[in-house]
Amino acid sequence: MEVFVADSGSWTVIVTDVAGRSCIVAAGENWESVEALPGQNT
């Protein structure tokens, strides 16, 4: 799974299978990055 985020805030999630085929599974706008809480895996 990969997440691509543009400077404009649009985002796309792509999943790639073991054969190398990729598929867009989600996309949207207004991406907001937040800091992880202490103790969360990053």
Q: How many helices (H) and strands (E) does the chain have?
A: 0, 3
Provide the terminal-to-terminal Cα distance of the chain, rounded to the nearest Å: 15
pLDDT tens column, 1-39: 999 999 999 999 999 999 999 999 999 999 998 888 887
Residue-range domain boundaries for the chain: 1-30
pTM of the model: 0.72
Rg (CA), the chain: 13
Residues in the chain: 42
